[in-house]
């Protein structure tokens, strides 16, 4: 359903980073585009198109270095302009490496150091429960950042207080090898869990449509650098990198194959 749109978003990311002559977090952004498209376009409730409305659902990208995926989708949906998107990392731009809640639409938590997005989101979810609000909050975390103990402390809190208004999506893209059986770990902390292919729109849609009776974790198995050969082969090398002329031609050639 969104395949062509996602390819277009990837091409815009590559074009912008190539033209900027800067380095950027490329492979981490490519692994969450399908999730973001389904989530923002179908699942999250947005009051009258206003991402910051008090009744809108909220999204926290704890792995904030993947912000290019969010900015590309925002540009595609018309939340920001093409000029805004191409201002990424430039002086006085609102759009930095990590989303800033004071500058970027729909961002409830500024990120930077990993491991803080989920704890902050749990706090928001608890406040909403006390206020009897119907909003839901969605958090995208990376598999590697689950090494931070703050995540597990917040999971215990969410389970203890029955925060059914929070959904944690783990971008399980193989950044870290030492975090197996994530679904079992979340269940041990009192969360309901689902494992899915994070690039399959139907699976994403099905997983995100569930309304569990406990805090909810989705383990999304993804590929870092998805759809771009040189990134998939060396996803660690492309975690933060600039794009040479040769790389640009190779990457655009890969993406043209999907047209």
Rounded Cα distance between 217 and 242, Å, is: 33
Q: Is the pLDDT of residue 83 over 90?
A: yes
Rounded Cα distance between 65 and 114, Å, is: 9
Measuring CA to CA, how many Å separate 229 from each of 41, 180, 225? 27, 25, 8
User: What's the angle, vertex CA 40, arms to CA 109 and CA 192, rounded to 5?
Assistant: 75
pTM of the model: 0.94
133 is in which domain, residue-wise? 3-256
pLDDT digits (tens, 9 = 90+) for 203-252: 999 999 999 999 999 999 999 999 999 999 998 899 999 999 999 999 99
Q: Is 24 helix (H, G, I), strand (E, B) or coil?
A: strand
Predicted local distance difference test score (pLDDT) of residue 1:
87
Predicted local distance difference test score (pLDDT) of residue 74:
97
Rounded Cα distance between 257 and 114, Å, is: 35
pLDDT digits (tens, 9 = 90+) for 145-188: 998 999 999 999 999 999 999 999 999 998 776 678 899 999 99
Reported residue count of the chain is 259
**231 backbone dihedrals φ, ψ, rounded to 5°:** -80, -40
Our count of domains for the chain comes to 1
* Residue found by looking up tokens 């492309």 in the block: 238
CATH number at residue 207: 3.40.50.970
């Amino acid at each position: 359903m969104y395949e062509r749109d996602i390819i277009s978003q990837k091409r815009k990311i590559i074009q912008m980073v190539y033209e900027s002559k800067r380095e950027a977090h490329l492979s981490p952004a490519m692994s969450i585009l399908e999730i973001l498209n389904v989530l923002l376009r179908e699942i999250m409730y947005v009051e009258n198109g206003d991402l910051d409305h008090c009744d809108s659902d909220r999204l926290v990208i704890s792995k904030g270095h993947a912000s290019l995926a969010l900015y590309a989708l925002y540009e595609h949906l018309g939340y920001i302009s093409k000029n805004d998107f191409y201002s990424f990392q430039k002086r006085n731009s609102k759009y930095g490496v990590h989303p800033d809640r004071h500058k970027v639409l729909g961002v409830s938590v500024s990120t930077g150091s990993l491991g803080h997005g989920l704890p902050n989101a749990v706090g928001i979810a608890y406040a909403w429960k006390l206020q009897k609000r119907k909003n839901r909050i969605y958090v995208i975390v990376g598999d590697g950042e689950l090494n931070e103990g703050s995540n597990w402390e917040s999971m215990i809190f969410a389970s203890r207080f029955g925060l059914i208004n929070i959904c944690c999506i783990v971008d399980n893209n193989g950044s870290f090898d030492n975090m197996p059986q994530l679904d079992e770990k979340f269940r041990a902390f009192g969360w309901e869990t689902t494992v899915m292919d994070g690039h399959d729109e139907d699976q994403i849609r099905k997983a995100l449509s569930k309304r569990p009776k406990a805090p909810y974790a989705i383990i999304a198995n993804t590929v870092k650098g998805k759809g771009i050969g040189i990134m998939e082969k060396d996803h660690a090398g492309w975690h933060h990198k600039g794009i040479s002329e040769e790389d640009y031609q190779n990457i655009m050639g890969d993406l043209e194959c999907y047209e």
